[in-house]
A = this chain, B = another copy of it.
């Protein structure tokens, strides 16, 4: 039996990945970090990521102005810092100094990476979609940085070794275990 509800926090689509998005403050000369749970790839060609950012956040204006952002994937060990960067504002504090995360220069954009994160994705904003409380930035991926230790022999990312953080209605979760490979059905159903 199902119950019908109007959508509203925290009844939404989950699970989602927890990501740390870095952006540049060209006026102040530093970089900020915002924690987001609303982020997803959207296309292969061009390769793009969309992120939903509250228009009132400090980072929103920075990304809008610079036209770039970096998606950094934190590991479980960065849980405390990840929560901190989500509940505080870069208007008042320097989050790189506060968290002791290390600034690592990017290759294609001016916005820095977070060195401690095992995956960093440099993005250039291709579209900004006005969507009420939040704006959606569509970013074309320019370059990926992958920690050697989480690479497979085929050069792909072994995300299980990255130990990413999930978000489920206000709780942080770890990933569990592999339950199957894409294509496992071979296009056929069990009898």
Contacts and interface: CB of A to CB of B under 8 A. Distances in A.
A169 to B, nearest CB: 6
Interface string A1-24: 111111111111111110100000
Given A12-B47, A176-B175, A189-B80, A138 B146 contact: no
Nearest to A52: B42
Nearest to A45: B133
Contact of A157 (B47, B121, B164, B169): B169
A contacts with B: majority SS: strand
Given A13-B17, A38-B42, A138-B136, A7 B144 contact: yes
A157 to B, nearest CB: 6
Given A2-B120, A7-B121, A160-B173, 4 more contacts: A2-B148, A40-B50, A83-B182, A166-B166
17 contacts: A1-B147, A3-B148, A3-B155, A4-B107, A4-B145, A4-B146, A11-B156, A12-B41, A13-B19, A13-B71, A13-B121, A44-B134, A46-B133, A76-B179, A83-B184, A83-B185, A176-B176
